[in-house]
Structures are given as structure tokens and as C-alpha cells.
Amino acid sequence: MKRFITVSLSLMIAVLLFAPQQVFAAKPVKIGVLVPLTGIVAQGGLEMKYGIEMAAEEKGTVLGRPIELIVEDTRVKPPVAVTKAEKLVYKDDCKALIGVFSSGVGLALSKNIDKLNVPFVSTHVMTTKFYGLHPLVFRSGQLANDQTAVGNVKGILARPDLKDRTYYVIVHDYSWGHDAGERFIALAKENGIKVYNDTYDKAPIKTKDWSSYISKIKASGADGVYMAFITNVIPAFAKQTSDFGLQGKVKLVSAAAPGPLELEAGGEACHGIFGASDWAWDVDNANSNDWEMRFWKKFNTIPSDAAVHSYVGAMNLFNAIEKAGSTDAKAIADALRGISFDGPYGNVRISAKDNCMRNSAVLTETMAAPENPFGAKVYMKVLKTFTADELGPPE
């Protein structure tokens, strides 16, 4: 018996070693993907990775060469992301970087972009600091804070039941949160929307127990909350406000679109969250519906805005490399300026003026989901669509 095992083992190893190496027609074009796979936003990072993988598969080849994605986990920590970017560019010889969830990581990466000397397309960073930050740094993904603020303020003004509420502003304590908070307060004041606290509350990202913040909101008597939280914390905050019996009385307006998976977990308590976002699977057009089904079949997770942004961002990047005709950093960057792609949420164009995308967006409110192929119980219903120029910024 013992002999039999050793023989079969050696056979197996032999097969493994001499398996026919896949003969490459030509050297692949390597693209570095930087997404958070651990830490608080791991779910968002996973969905971003799916979006980019889907784009690479559907695009197939660039400049006649296969696309090879090398994925690295940023752990939402800027120093880690910089080290991983160095590895992707120097060791794996990647021609471009894509992804990045948080503004902190995005800004740290942009600081080192001269050393790395490759184009960087961020697909989820919302900080307004990205406008014209660096000739090699682009944004093609989530709405920036100013665009979301415009969308939300216009949405509030259009709704009589929201117009005259006083809003209590509470943000996650990092650059995106501060930026989103300040933008909304400034714009709300211009349009006569009552804001309870001009100096917005800053909550640590790792906050789990929101009871003391909710008691503050109850004590303030405000009947609306403008929250700038990371996507997967929104349902948790909503659930705890409903635990405290505030769901009917206090209206939640969000600066970022809640993740669908997290909405499912939140369930009943997550109804009534109001906010602007690029896309939700309730958007009804041929391109969007077709994309949703392809995504659902391939990954069996509810299609989310994090996935669709990364998909569109990746397509823009691949088309730019195709247009540039070479993998030279400057050529790709020039090609990226002004490029556009007709994706699930309409035409997404990267403005030549400030390297950031312009695209249409939707105003949504979460409620019980109708019959849908994904088995989702809660969904973001589309109330209104904004055109790109409505959200600005002017070019």
C-alpha cells in the first residue's frame, strides 16, 4: 500500500511540473489593480475587483495583446497601498494602476505618481482634491463630493417633505468625510436649507455603537440627518437609528450610495435612505439591464455601484491604451483626456480640463424591492435623473 501512495504522488507532481505551459501569442499588457480586500471596506473592494475583471474579460485584448490584471490588497492603509503600487510598477512592470476605494489612499498614491510614472485611474475616490491633481491621475468612477452635494440639495429642494427640515450633519472622520460635510453645509446654506450644526460631528471610522451620537441627534431636535459614511456603515447607522425609534421621525440623506449587500443585511430599518448616486440596478435602460444580468450570472452577487464604476473606469482605461497605440505613460494619459464610454449609466466622459469624469446620475430612495432576479429585499428606487451639466462642475 505504501508503495502505491509514493508512486501516485510522484506521478501527480510530474504532471504538474510539465503541464503544457500556455504559449502566449504576445507579451500581455499588465494592469495593476489596487483594491481593499481586508479591513472595513473589504466588501466594496471585492465588488470593484469584480467590475474590473468583467471589463478585462469583455474587452479581451488591448493593442492585440491579452490583458493581465495583477490584484493587490491595499487594506485601506495608504503606506501599504504605496508599497504595493511600487511592487506592481517596478516588479510586475504594470503599465497602469486602477481602483482605490478611499481618498486617503488615492491622495497618498498621487503623491508618489512621479516616482511610479504610470497613469492612475481611480474608480471610487470622491474627494474634490482630485480635480486637476496631476497629469497622470484620473477619476472615472463615483460622483465627487461636490456633484453629490448638488444632487442631494436639488433632490431635497424638489421634495416638500424634505425642504424645511433641519439637518444634523455627521461624517466619518477622514478627508472624504470632511470634504462631503463641508460641501453640503455650504450649498445647503446658499439654498436656505436649515443645518443644525455648522461644525459637523466627526465619528471615528471604527465606531460600532452609535448610541451616543444618536442621543445627540435626539437631543438636538433635528428632524433630518445628512450623513457622510463609508458605504457599508450606512445600513448599520440606519438600523441603530430605527432601534431608537427615529426611523419615522428623522429623514436620512446620504452623501454616498449604500452597498446593496449591506442594505440586504439592514433590511426593514434601511428603508427611506435618500441620496444621489451614479447608478442603481433600478436604472431602466437596455445597456444597464443587460450589464446587470451579465454581472449577476458571472459573480452571483447583487450588482452594486462600486462594481459598475470600476467596470466603466476599466473600459475607459483599456480604450485609452488602444487609442494611444502604445503603453507609454504619457501617451495613455493624453488619450485618457476627453475619452468617453457608453456604459450602464450613460455616457461617461473624462474631462480634458481636470482629468475627472462627467456623467449623468440618479436620485434614489431605498424601499422594499419589487420582484427581481437577484432576490434583493431592499433596493434604491430611482426618483429622478440628473444630466452631467446639471451636476457640474463647469468645464
Partner 1 sequence: MNNTTTIPGIKKRFVPLKIFIVVLVFVGLGLFPFMSGNRFYISMINEMMIYGLLAMSLDVLLGYTGALSFMHNAYLGISAYVVGLFLIHISPASLWMACFAGIIFTSIVALPVGWVQVRTGGLAFALLTLAFGMMFHTIVWKWYDVTGGDDGLMGMPNPDITLFGWKLGSTGDPLAMYLFTLVIAAICFFLTRRIINSPFGAVLEAIRENEDRASFIGINVRRYKLLGWMLACLLAGISGALFILYKGYIGPSTMSAFAGAGVLMMVLLGGLGSLWGAFVGAAIFIYIQDYISTMTEHWEIFLGLVVIFLVLFLPTGFVGLGDHLKRFRKG
Partner 2 sequence: MGGTIGIIVDISLNSLVLSGVFLIVAIGLNIIYGLSRIMNMGHGALYAVGAYTGYTLVATGFNYFVALVIAPIIVGGIGLLIERTIIAPMRKRSMVYTLILTYGLMFFLDGMIKYVWGNKPCFIDLPAFMQGTLSILGTQYPIFRLVTLFLIAGIMGGLMLFLNKTKVGLILRASSTIPEMVSCLGINMSYVHMGAFVLGCIMAAMAGIIAGPLTTIDPLMGSEMLISSFVVIVIGGLGSLRGAVLAALLIGFVQTLAEFFITDLAMVIVYVLMAVILAFMPRGILGEGKFE
The kind and range of the H/E element at 90 are none
Residue 51 contact among partner 1, partner 2, none, beta carbon within 5 to 8 Å by kind: none
Residue 382 contact among partner 1, partner 2, none, beta carbon within 5 to 8 Å by kind: none
* 394 vs 386: CA distance, rounded Å: 15
CB of 87 to partner 1, least distance (A): 6
Residue 1 binds partner 2 (CB under 8 A): no
Q: Which is nearer to partner 2, 195 or 350 (CB)?
A: 195
* 252 vs 382: CA distance, rounded Å: 16
Residue 285 contact among partner 1, partner 2, none, beta carbon within 5 to 8 Å by kind: none
370: phi then psi, degrees, rounded to nearest 5: -75, -175
Q: CA nearest 391: which of 146, 176, 190, 130? A: 146
CA-based end-to-end distance of the chain: 77
* 96 vs 126: CA distance, rounded Å: 20
Q: Which is nearer to partner 2, 150 or 238 (CB)?
A: 238
Cα dihedral 291, 153, 267, 127 sign: positive
Pick from 33, 261, 306, 308 the residue near partner 2 by CB under 8 A. Answer: 261
Stretch 277-296 residues interacting with partner 2 (CB under 8 A)? none
DSSP state of 356: B
Pick from 31, 46, 162, 356 the residue near partner 2 by CB under 8 A. Answer: 46
Pick from 202, 271, 294, 337 the residue near partner 2 by CB under 8 A. Answer: 202
Q: Which is nearer to partner 2, 43 or 340 (CB)?
A: 43
Cα dihedral 248, 306, 119, 109 sign: positive
Residue 216 binds partner 2 (CB under 8 A): yes
Residue 218 binds partner 2 (CB under 8 A): yes
Residue 206 contact among partner 2, partner 1, none, beta carbon within 5 to 8 Å by kind: partner 2
Residue 83 contact among partner 1, partner 2, none, beta carbon within 5 to 8 Å by kind: partner 1
212: phi then psi, degrees, rounded to nearest 5: -70, -35
Q: CA nearest 106: which of 83, 88, 129, 89? A: 129
Residue 239 contact among partner 2, partner 1, none, beta carbon within 5 to 8 Å by kind: partner 2
CB of 260 to partner 2, least distance (A): 10
CB of 319 to partner 1, least distance (A): 28
Residue 211 binds partner 2 (CB under 8 A): yes
Q: Residues 274, 365: contact at Cβ < 8 Å?
A: yes
Output the nine-digit C-alpha cell for 231: 458605504
Pick from 119, 141, 181, 235 the residue near partner 2 by CB under 8 A. Answer: 235
Output the nine-digit C-alpha cell for 324: 494611444
Q: Residues 234, 256: contact at Cβ < 8 Å?
A: yes
Strands (DSSP E) contained in 88-174 are 96-99, 120-122, 137-139, 167-172
Question: Could you tell me the CA-to-CA distances from 228 to 154, 180, 240, 258, 282 in Å, in that order?
Answer: 17, 6, 16, 11, 23
Q: Residues 386, 290: contact at Cβ < 8 Å?
A: no
CB of 229 to partner 2, least distance (A): 12
Residue 175 contact among partner 2, partner 1, none, beta carbon within 5 to 8 Å by kind: partner 1
Q: Residues 36, 101: contact at Cβ < 8 Å?
A: yes
The size of the interface with partner 2 (CB under 8 A), counted in residues, is: 37
Residue 79 binds partner 2 (CB under 8 A): no
Output the nine-digit C-alpha cell for 195: 443645518
Question: Could you tell me the CA-to-CA distances from 89 to 26, 72, 75, 184, 330 in Å, in that order?
Answer: 20, 12, 18, 38, 15
Residue 245 contact among partner 2, partner 1, none, beta carbon within 5 to 8 Å by kind: partner 2
CB of 330 to partner 2, least distance (A): 38
Pick from 59, 87, 159, 201 the residue near partner 2 by CB under 8 A. Answer: 201
Kindly list the residues in this chain that would bind partner 1 in the complex (CB under 8 A): 37-38, 72-73, 75, 77-80, 82-84, 86-87, 90-91, 103-104, 107-108, 111-112, 114-115, 173-175, 178, 202, 204-205
CB of 48 to partner 2, least distance (A): 13
Point out which residues bind partner 2 (CB under 8 A).
Answer: 38-40, 42-43, 46, 173, 201-204, 206, 208-209, 211-213, 215-216, 218-219, 221, 232-233, 235-236, 239, 243-246, 249, 261-262, 265-267
